[in-house]
Chain A
């Protein structure tokens, strides 16, 4: 079921050329400024082919991700993966945003369900879910490949984008997750980016299970900038557990009073854990690359990736 869609984005071009690709992640926050995002994008640009721009993660009401997706491409020259959840928009709003994104030169969309509104910072909000993420991929395929919206209305101009989906190899039971991915790949998926992984055996199991779908997969890794982030991640991100040893090692770094030394210790822990992890993925699996979610932790790219990629 290899996607027959042209490679519109550099990300998909690089994947199809057989390179081991790296993507990064940018997170708009509750702010009206883009300085931080632009600085992060500049810092990661030498190491990644594209950067995802998150869409109200954990249902936090943040800046619309389309704006930084566009500005990063324009100002920094780094391709973006415009993440879009179907939690906050009905099919009309989705079409509207996709058309706008096409005009702005966005070439990748990551189609997501999105964390439920009750997990967010405006818990009383209505969850829209007019479409689910499979139906969203189906609609994107209609827009990109057939030039029509869901109701069959013609679009003037072209939507030239590649479509990614998310997957959670940590899911237990795994089988319904795998079957769901198969369902979505068949609807027109160009690449998969996974949830954060810490367990290499789970990564391998997942990649073997999904191999038959022949859809390039980027394995998610999340270098942990501080113990606070590691602890939050462990407690609050659905389906993600940070290994106890890693959490303990991060905790020990936290006790170092000297800030610079502490940073160095954190970096060492991350490199000790993720360097062999990424190497193993690259050498022993068929993963197309790694999605490095080092949000605001761009300094780790250089030491982490120089030997692994």
Chain B
């Protein structure tokens, strides 16, 4: 799931301040699950912003052009009136709606990461979408995401009792977790394996995925 958090309301006020007619769009998928851009949050935002809100809508997946077309059909006329669209979704949804509406779009949320959910309000960073997954080699624990230095051949000298020097020794050292997991699985050869430098040009070029 794409984990988002609400921008401080003062920031939203600042962003919306120049516009008299604001339309709010929420996300029916990830942001609903995060309780940052679901129906309740859209209603709450409309309430807080008051008269300048000319309408609201929920889109099941604002990051999908087809679903925007489907779910915003009924709002087409009122959307035309809007000076700006406040979007409560991840950055992908905001951009897709910018293209779809052709309006000034304002992101009401900050996009954090692709995460794991323990419960609502407790999410963990799990994937940076690096484009070259090596979770088979690291016991299902991603060092790119969970090591503060994204080391492929860790740990570094900054681990103390299995905790990371980044974050006051409260976060687990990813490489100690990987070592433990691989040891339990009797796969320490995978730990010892040298992983050569990544080819970052692949990621730079990875701007689209097209089935052939």
A129 to B152, CA, bound (A): 10
Which of B151, B157, B158: most chain A CB closer than 10 A?
Answer: B157
> Is the C-beta of A133 less than 8 angstroms from some C-beta in chain B?
yes
User: Is the beta-carbon distance between A119 and B165 smaller than 8 angstroms?
Assistant: yes
A115 to B192, CA, bound (A): 23
Known A-B contacts A113-B151, A186-B194; the reply to A179 vs B156 at CB < 8 A is no
Known A-B contacts A91-B197, A131-B197, A182-B192; the reply to A166 vs B149 at CB < 8 A is no
> Is the C-beta of B135 less than 8 angstroms from some C-beta in chain A?
no
User: Is the beta-carbon distance between A187 and B158 smaller than 8 angstroms?
Assistant: no
0/1 string, A175-195, CB within 8 A of B gives 1: 111011011101100000001
> Is the C-beta of A118 less than 8 angstroms from some C-beta in chain B?
yes
Known A-B contacts A129-B149, A132-B153; the reply to A176 vs B176 at CB < 8 A is yes
> Is the C-beta of B23 less than 8 angstroms from some C-beta in chain A?
no
User: Is the beta-carbon distance between B159 and A239 smaller than 8 angstroms?
Assistant: yes
User: Is the beta-carbon distance between B157 and A239 smaller than 8 angstroms?
Assistant: yes
User: Is the beta-carbon distance between B196 and A179 smaller than 8 angstroms?
Assistant: no
> Is the C-beta of B150 less than 8 angstroms from some C-beta in chain A?
yes
> Is the C-beta of B162 less than 8 angstroms from some C-beta in chain A?
yes
A139 to B152, CA, bound (A): 15
From residue A129, how far is it (CB to closest CB) to chain B in Å?
5
User: Is the beta-carbon distance between B152 and A135 smaller than 8 angstroms?
Assistant: yes
User: Is the beta-carbon distance between A239 and B196 smaller than 8 angstroms?
Assistant: no
Please name all residues of chain A whose beta carbon is closer than 8 Å to the beta carbon of B183 when the two chains form the complex. Answer: 175
User: Is the beta-carbon distance between A176 and B175 smaller than 8 angstroms?
Assistant: yes
> Is the C-beta of A18 less than 8 angstroms from some C-beta in chain B?
no
Question: Given B149, B162, B196, which contacts A173 in the complex, CB threshold below 8 Å?
Answer: B162
Total A-B contacts with CB atoms under 8 angstroms apart: 100
> Is the C-beta of B166 less than 8 angstroms from some C-beta in chain A?
yes
Question: Given B151, B179, B191, B200, which contacts A132 in the complex, CB threshold below 8 Å?
Answer: B151
From residue A169, how far is it (CB to closest CB) to chain B in Å?
10
A150 to B149, CA, bound (A): 20
Please name all residues of chain A whose beta carbon is closer than 8 Å to the beta carbon of B175 when the two chains form the complex. Answer: 176, 180
> Is the C-beta of B154 less than 8 angstroms from some C-beta in chain A?
yes
User: Which residues from 161 to 207 on chain B have a C-beta closer than 8 Å to any C-beta of chain A?
Assistant: 161-162, 165-167, 175-176, 179, 183, 188, 191-192, 194-197, 200
CB nearest neighbor in A for B197: A135
A11 to B156, CA, bound (A): 25
Please name all residues of chain B whose beta carbon is closer than 8 Å to the beta carbon of A170 when the two chains form the complex. Answer: 160
> Is the C-beta of A172 less than 8 angstroms from some C-beta in chain B?
yes
> Is the C-beta of A168 less than 8 angstroms from some C-beta in chain B?
yes
Please name all residues of chain A whose beta carbon is closer than 8 Å to the beta carbon of B156 when the two chains form the complex. Answer: 113, 132-133
User: Which residues from 99 to 142 on chain A have a C-beta closer than 8 Å to any C-beta of chain B?
Assistant: 113, 115-116, 118-119, 127, 129-135, 138-139
Please name all residues of chain A whose beta carbon is closer than 8 Å to the beta carbon of B166 when the two chains form the complex. Answer: 116, 118-119
User: Which residues from 46 to 80 on chain B have a C-beta closer than 8 Å to any C-beta of chain A?
Assistant: none
Please name all residues of chain B whose beta carbon is closer than 8 Å to the beta carbon of A187 when the two chains form the complex. Answer: 194
User: Which residues from 133 to 161 on chain B have a C-beta closer than 8 Å to any C-beta of chain A?
Assistant: 148-161
User: Is the beta-carbon distance between B160 and A179 smaller than 8 angstroms?
Assistant: no
User: Is the beta-carbon distance between A139 and B149 smaller than 8 angstroms?
Assistant: no
Please name all residues of chain B whose beta carbon is closer than 8 Å to the beta carbon of A87 when the two chains form the complex. Answer: 149
From residue B61, how far is it (CB to closest CB) to chain A in Å?
32
From residue A241, how far is it (CB to closest CB) to chain B in Å?
9
> Is the C-beta of A77 less than 8 angstroms from some C-beta in chain B?
no
User: Is the beta-carbon distance between A238 and B191 smaller than 8 angstroms?
Assistant: no
> Is the C-beta of A38 less than 8 angstroms from some C-beta in chain B?
no
Please name all residues of chain B whose beta carbon is closer than 8 Å to the beta carbon of A177 when the two chains form the complex. Answer: 155, 157
Question: Given B149, B155, B160, B161, which contacts A127 in the complex, CB threshold below 8 Å?
Answer: B149
Known A-B contacts A116-B149, A175-B179; the reply to A238 vs B160 at CB < 8 A is yes
Please name all residues of chain B whose beta carbon is closer than 8 Å to the beta carbon of A171 when the two chains form the complex. Answer: 155, 157, 159-160
User: Is the beta-carbon distance between B192 and A179 smaller than 8 angstroms?
Assistant: yes
Please name all residues of chain A whose beta carbon is closer than 8 Å to the beta carbon of B195 when the two chains form the complex. Answer: 135
Question: Given A113, A139, A173, which contacts B176 in the complex, CB threshold below 8 Å?
Answer: A173
| Additional 20 contacts, C-beta under 8 A, given A119-B165, A127-B149, A176-B179 | A116-B148, A118-B148, A127-B148, A132-B151, A135-B153, A138-B194, A139-B197, A166-B157, A170-B160, A171-B159, A176-B175, A176-B176, A177-B157, A180-B155, A180-B175, A184-B153, A195-B157, A238-B159, A238-B165, A239-B160
Give the A-binding residues of B (Cβ under 8 A).
148-162, 165-167, 175-176, 179, 183, 188, 191-192, 194-197, 200
Q: List 17 A-B contacts (CB under 8 A).
A: A113-B156, A115-B158, A119-B166, A127-B148, A129-B150, A131-B197, A133-B156, A135-B195, A171-B155, A176-B155, A176-B175, A177-B157, A180-B175, A184-B153, A195-B157, A238-B158, A239-B160
Q: Which 3 A-B pairs have the closest CB atoms?
A: A134-B153, A176-B179, A132-B151
